[in-house]
Amino acid sequence: MTQTSVQTTHYVPADLPTSIRHFIGGKFVDSVGGETFDVLDPVSNQTYATAAAGQQADIDLAVAAAKNAFDNGPWPRMLPRARARVLHAIADAVEAQDARLAELETFDTGLPITQALGQAQRAAENFRFFADLIVAQADDTYKVPGRQINYVNRKPVGVAGLITPWNTPFMLESWKLAPALASGCTVVLKPAEFTPLSASLWAEILSTAGVPDGVFNLVNGIGEEAGDALVKHPDVPLISFTGETTTGQTIYRNCAANLKGMSMELGGKSPAVVFADADLDAAIDSTLFGVFSLNGERCTASSRILVERSIYDDFCARYAARAQAIVVGDPHDPKTEVGALVHPEHYAKVMSYVEIGKTEGRLLAGGGRPEGLTEGNYVSPTVFADVAPSARIFQEEIFGPVVAITPFDTDAEALALANGVKYGLAAYIWTTNLTRAHNFAQSVDAGMVWLNSHNVRDLRTPFGGVKASGLGHEGGYRSIDFYTDSQAVHITLAPVHTPRFGGN
Ligand code: NAD
């Protein structure tokens, strides 16, 4: 089916780096053994840079630098206000260069430029939020009158290993860097190998803002090499991971040997449930944005839409017409709504699901490469209706601009469909019936629920999934909890009545 609107230009930002290096102990360095990997841009699929491919030796150096900065440097010992000032300076720097950050991110990832700009601004907001949080932070104290005072002595855990995926990489890195640094940890970041460009920009931003050498370390590389070495390193007591569920399971096993702290933000197959009494115009806008924004490469994408049967035909027709009119093309064009998928390997995966979908559902829009876009990882926004819950496109995370629509007759059936997958990240409920909305929200298997809204998140709220979508919640003070140990200190206020062993 023909996409009605495509943008065929290909913008290349000025002054693109041709080599992307590690950043260890305050210096840009190559891999000890000189290993590199190619970095492609998703519009031409040509190599535009080589990146240092970290190995065990590089991780060892980065962890040693981070451990030295933690054990001997000022960062963990600074007053919260002093660290907060540095974090605000980072946010200022990100905001000041948001346009440049966005154009580099767009070039590397294929995300539409307007959305990459929003992600850069959100990255700045993450730093501001955690700067404010640590200054305002209170900890538990308990008094037992006349006998005891107990208080929590919050301590940064040490060297945090941060492993991030390629979707919205700069923003997701900020999501881990900001609370880890705010807490006083030092870090080793291993960004995704498909998209290393924006991660390398953190080095200068953080150093200029006043982060001491060795506090922030970056090692690029392949997951099974650099990522694996970081996960298994004995001097890294905690790992914050965002990525695929299967990778998370591997990391979980590998953390067991050292009993590391872990936070896992994993895959999703989130339902949007549209009841007949919903504001249909708003539901259509939101469910389109929910799955086609960020190219559908979004963990919280509403990639399954469950629609009450009495409005099903109308919903499908209107939804498909809008999907077909989505502007696909050059990610740098501000009119573009869906850009190019991140990498040819991922494009092949998404396209294979499009073909599977043609055997599992009724194709209403898209279904392949848009006409007129002969190169690059472009997929037309693709809509399948009448998708059975047993279908692979209903069950499996596609992570692209592909949506499955399924009808339901009763609230109970809608809930069973919503919960009938292994994932449990987000859910979006569309109804004007308040009682139904709250009851559904409380019964649905999802770490996060939006009622009559797409994904708009207050940074104070918990973020995370249940079932195969993750382990632990970050967000707000929970992130600080993850990067710190809450040591309990007990002080006696009165003579202690100790049983006198051996004192008969
Ligand atoms: P991925 O799991 O392939 O890779 C994520 C990171 O893990 C990369 O840096 C990779 O190099 C590294 N890695 C891979 N194997 C490793 C290993 N054995 N040891 C250590 N590190 C290893 O994921 P991806 O394809 O980059 O990202 C897409 C996935 O991320 C999707 O499933 C998406 O739902 C998920 N995601 C989840 C959230 C969330 O908050 N729940 C947010 C964004 C993305």
Per-residue pLDDT reduced to its tens digit, 240-294: 999 999 999 999 999 999 999 999 999 999 999 999 999 999 999 999 999 999 9
Asked about 265 being catalytic, the answer comes back as yes
Confidence of residue 172 (pLDDT cuts 50, 70, 90): very high
Closest to 168 in 3D by CA, of 192, 190, 188, 189 = 192
Ligand 1 atom index nearest CA of 166: 26
CA distance 338 to 296: 8
* Choice from 166, 195, 244 to test ligand 1 binding pocket (greatest atom count within 8 A of CB): 244
Cα 446 to ligand 1 centroid, rounded to whole Å: 20
Options 299, 337, 360, 474, the catalytic residue: 299
Q: Is 37 in the pocket of ligand 1 (CB under 6 A)?
A: no
Q: Edge-to-edge strand order for the sheet containing 382-385?
A: 362-365, 382-385, 402-408, 304-308, 271-274, 426-430, 448-451
Q: Give the Cα separation of 404 and 303 in Å (integer).
A: 6
Annotated active-site residue 299? The verdict is yes
Place of tokens 């933000």: 265
DSSP 8-state class, residue 463: B
**pLDDT confidence band for 56 (50 / 70 / 90):** very high
Which one, of 330, 61, 346, lies nearest residue 192 by Cα?
346
pLDDT tens digit string along 462-483?
999 999 999 989 999 999 999 9
Question: Mean pLDDT for the chain?
Answer: 97
The pLDDT assigned to 500 comes to 93
Exposed e or buried b per residue across 478-504, where buried means at least 16 C-beta atoms within 10 angstroms of its C-beta: bbbbbbbbeeeeeeeeeeeeeeeeeee
Distance 342 CA to ligand 1 centre (A): 13
State the DSSP H helix or E strand holding residue 309, giving kind and residue range, or none if neither. Answer: helix 309-324
Confidence of residue 4 (pLDDT cuts 50, 70, 90): low
- Determine the distance separating the centroid of ligand 1 and the alpha carbon of 355, expressed in angstroms: 24
| Residue from 264, 299, 303, 353 whose mutation best tests the ligand 1 pocket (most atoms within 8 A of CB) | 299
Distance between CA 415 and CA 397 in Å, rounded? 19
Q: Which atom of ligand 1 is nearest to the CA of 221?
A: 11
Contact 447, 478 (CB under 8 A): no
Residue 166 Cα to ligand 1 middle (Å):
7
**Nearest-5° angle of CA 448, CA 132, CA 488?**
80
Question: What pLDDT sits at residue 297?
Answer: 98
The response to whether residue 369 sits with its C-beta less than 6 Å from ligand 1 reads no
> What is the mean pLDDT of the segment spanning 320-338?
97
Nearest Cα residue to 237 out of 155, 154, 159, 156: 159
- Selected catalytic residue, list 103, 105, 173, 265: 265
**Is the CB of 423 inside a 6 Å radius of any atom of ligand 1?**
no
**Fold for the domain defined by 271-451:** Aldehyde Dehydrogenase; Chain A, domain 2 (3.40.309)
Looking at the domain covering 12-266+469-488, what would its CATH class be?
alpha beta
Q: How many whole angstroms from its chain centre is CA 397?
A: 15
Ligand 1 center from residue 222 Cα (angstroms) = 11
Residue 2's pLDDT is: 67
Rounded-to-10 torsion of CA 328, 279, 464, 402 = -30
Q: What percent of the chain has pLDDT over 90?
A: 97
Residue 46 carries which DSSP code?
-
Has residue 504 got a pLDDT over 90?
Answer: no
pLDDT in tens, 199-234: 999 999 999 999 999 999 999 999 999 999 999 999
pLDDT confidence band for 95 (50 / 70 / 90): very high
| Domain segments of the chain as ranges | 12-266+469-488, 271-451
302, 270 in Cβ contact below 8 A?
yes
Contacts of 72 (CB under 8 A, 6+ apart): none
Q: At 249, phi and psi to the nearest 5?
A: -65, -40
Cα separations in angstroms, 322 against 239, 259, 430: 41, 49, 19
Q: CB 388: neighbour CB atoms within 10 A?
A: 11
Condensed to tens digits (0 to 9), the pLDDT of residues 367-402 reads 999 999 999 999 999 999 999 999 999 999 999 999
Look at the pTM and tell me if it is higher than 0.95: yes
Pair of tokens at residue 27: 């210096």
Mutate to test the pocket of ligand 1, among 163, 170, 198 (most ligand atoms within 8 A of CB): 163
pLDDT of residue 497: 87
| Strand 426-430 to 271-274 pairing | parallel
Poorest-confidence range of 9-23, 90-104, 112-126? 9-23
pLDDT(106) > 80: yes
The whole-angstrom separation of Cα 421 and Cα 423 is 6
Taking the centre of ligand 1 as the mean of its atom positions, its distance from the CA of residue 345, in whole angstroms, is 15
Rounded Cα–Cα distance for residues 98 and 121 (Å): 7
